[in-house]
Amino acid sequence: MIQSYRIDVYGIVQGVGFRWFAQQTANKYHLVGWVCNNSNGSVEMRVQGQETNVKAFIEAINQGPGYYSRVDKVLKHAVAPFESNNFAIK
């Protein structure tokens, strides 16, 4: 079943390659949507795809891209389905 979520990620997630990591991870799990930086230092995403793939994506996001990043909190909220054919960095 296709699921759609807004995901907000807090921690050290800007200026450390986090959006690129999110895009690569979304592509790995065949998800569509987008990722952008927020002015409060968090990263916001819209993610849509098969429920099992979204769960795997969120598990990977919780780990972060590596040494320079730190994920403190990930919030997930269901949203209405949206149209997209890729996962974009905004």
Locate 34 and state its tokens: 């987008």
d(CA 88, CA 2): 19
Which residue among 6, 19, 70, 85 is the active-site one? Answer: 19
Count, residues in the chain: 90
| Percent of residues, the chain, with pLDDT higher than 90 | 96
CATH class of 2-89: alpha beta
Which residue among 6, 27, 37, 53 is the active-site one? Answer: 37
Predicted local confidence at residue 86, as pLDDT: 98
pTM of this structure: 0.95
- pLDDT exceeds 90 at position 20: yes
d(CA 78, CA 65): 24
Ranges of each domain in the chain: 2-89
70 assigned to active site: no
